[in-house]
Structure 1
Amino acid sequence: MAFSSLQRGFAHRLAMGVVDSAVAAFLAGRPVCLFDSEFREGETDLLFVAGKVQPEDIRQLRKDCGGLLFLAIGHEVGERFGLPFLQDLHTDSGLVENYPILAKLVTDDLQYDSQSAFTLSLNHRHTFTGITDADRGLTTRRFAELYQELV
């Protein structure tokens, strides 16, 4: 089915309106739902601004979304902090020599990319277990603050 230039223009304005609304929500500290891709997981992710996240936001993620909770950072952020990809740790010869199990954790058969984008797990030093909503909120906010101090 071919679309007219009028239909394409309307679709573009509609999409830009959605993007503008998402940006405005983020600037106001509100969450945004983002559909990743039907060719990947086909799921919608709930995103919060890290620097404004509160324990009740973490609770909502935990209760309503399930799965892993993680702090999504850009590649440049990881580089600024010197964070390795987990894949790099699993293939580091020195680490693999001391911990051979790491070699078995290599994810070289992903269907959506050449390697996993995950990096290290982290907790703020002033957390108790790192598991409570308050602990996770503190870790998330402080990471965002530290990044702002770097830039």
Structure 2
Amino acid sequence: MKLLFLMGSSAPVLANAAGPAAVAPLELSDAEWKKRLSPEAYRVLRKHGTEPAGSSPLDKEQRPGVYHCAGCDLPLFSSEAKYDSGTGWPSFHTALPGAVATQLDFKMIWPRTEYHCVRCQGHQGHVFDDGPPPTGKRWCNNGVALRFAPSQA
């Protein structure tokens, strides 16, 4: 069990705790994840990989709707928080409340803040402090880790 930090919180939480709006954790075996996900989604969500910049059609998606975790279908971001960061990955200035948890990632020379879906612990991407108002955050997400659900009507 990992300690993660819920978005906007400085207190650690257990990785399967969902914060204010309790979300039941989804725990599957590695074999079950491999069956459930495409090889690329498995590499990103379960092995903390990164897809190539510009490879996801979700980077250019502009319709209203909600972006869900591709691993467990938990809603993570509203299209209202999406913006074009110019990085080649879908980017958002705000995550939905209680949907993601963060932890420090030391895979590069400098520490970065990595974030995960609170339900399945699927790796989504990294959050940076170079985003637009109102938060100044850039939630930089792997498109393969998301499923877009367009608004009806």
TM-score bucket of the superposed structures, by smaller chain: under 0.3
Structure with the larger helix share: 1
Relative to the length of structure 2, the TM-score reads: 0.24
Q: TM-score normalized by structure 1?
A: 0.24
More strand by share: 2
Larger radius of gyration: 1
